Amino acid sequence: MDLQLKDRVFVVTAASAGLGRATAAQLVAEGGKVVLVARRGDVLDEAVAEFGASSAVAVAADLADPQTPRLACRTALDTFGRLDGALISVGGPPAGPVAEITDEQWLGGFESVFLAAVRTVRAVIEHGTAADLAIACVLSTSALSPMPKMAVSNGLRPGLSMVIKQLADEHGPDGVRINGLLPGRIATERITYLDSLADDPKAAEAESAARIPLRRYGEPEEFGRVAAFLLSPAASYVSGSLIAVDGGSLRAL
């Protein structure tokens, strides 16, 4: 299938590793161009070298900074002359049960998870040049079903999923598509960290994999292919949807 991504330009946040990096790689492989946003500038430079300067440019900045979304969008326009959409991924909030999460952690999670995503969506819609602008927000399966000891994620992700639905309503008449992606246990630095919190990380990983119908963790590349499809004109009638990429583990409809 031709995803019709040649020369299309996307902002990709959290692009130094994991889901963001894998999605950027897939977009470039399909002929697209990417603005890579993350805090680790040295790692972004390696990604630009891998993808090629004609296909990628780096913005070393923290997405929690209110100025970063506009900077990323302006970089797309200044470098490539257009902006067709974005993959918006934000940092994971602290883990823990509700009773152990402090007010500061709740407020920090709201700023880094919720507001950072909303600000970036607004900036992409404001600066986007495509008549069929496409945005995909990386959420979590906690948007539909609570995860043990992930109080902040359980509290914030469902709200973001409703914002995505409302954005699809508000901007669909202008040709904007926006969807949410719900990754499950995918082999990223974040999941490795969460497993490391257990007394026996290897046993925790094995137990998690055993609860997944496919009996394994996903690979970032598997997520990247789904994300690239959703951002492409090939998915032109998909909007306001929450797409699980979780090996079948989500129990909610």
Query: Is pLDDT above 90 for 163?
Result: yes
Mean pLDDT across 136-144: 95
- Residue 194: which pLDDT band, with cuts at 50, 70 and 90? confident
Q: Given 3.30.70.600, 3.90.1200.10, 3.40.50.720, 3.40.228.10, which CATH number is that of 9-244? A: 3.40.50.720
The whole-number pLDDT of residue 142 equals 93
Query: Is pLDDT above 90 for 188?
Result: no
Give the tens place of pLDDT for each residue, 199-236: 898 898 999 899 999 999 999 999 999 999 999 999 99
- Within a 10 A sphere around the Cβ of 179, how many other Cβ atoms? 23
The whole-number pLDDT of residue 204 equals 86
Phi, psi dihedral angles at 186 (to 5 degrees):
-115, 140
d(CA 114, CA 161): 10
Give the tens place of pLDDT for each residue, 3-39: 999 999 999 999 999 999 999 999 999 999 999 999 9
Give the tens place of pLDDT for each residue, 47-81: 999 999 999 999 999 998 999 999 999 999 999 99
- Residue 191: which pLDDT band, with cuts at 50, 70 and 90? confident
The amino acid occupying position 181 is L
The tokens for 176 are 């904007």
SS (H, E, C) the chain: CCCCCCCCEEEEECCCCHHHHHHHHHHHHCCCEEEEEECCHHHHHHHHHHHCCCCEEEEECCCCCCCHHHHHHHHHHHHHCCCCEEEECCCCCCCECHHHCCHHHHHHHHHHHHHHHHHHHHHHHHHCCCCCCEEEEECCHHHCCCCCCEHHHHHHHHHHHHHHHHHHHHHHHHCCEEEEEEECCECCHHHHHHHHCCCCHHHHHHHHHHCCCCCCCECHHHHHHHHHHHHCHHHCCCCCCEEEECCCCCCCC
Sign of CA dihedral 138, 239, 147, 211: negative
Mean pLDDT across 146-167: 95
Query: Is pLDDT above 90 for 91?
Result: no
The whole-number pLDDT of residue 228 equals 98
- Residue 192: which pLDDT band, with cuts at 50, 70 and 90? confident
Per domain, the residue ranges of the chain are 9-244
* Percent of the chain topping pLDDT 90: 87
Looking at the DSSP bridge assignments, the partners of residue 33 are: 9
The whole-number pLDDT of residue 89 equals 95
d(CA 186, CA 220): 6
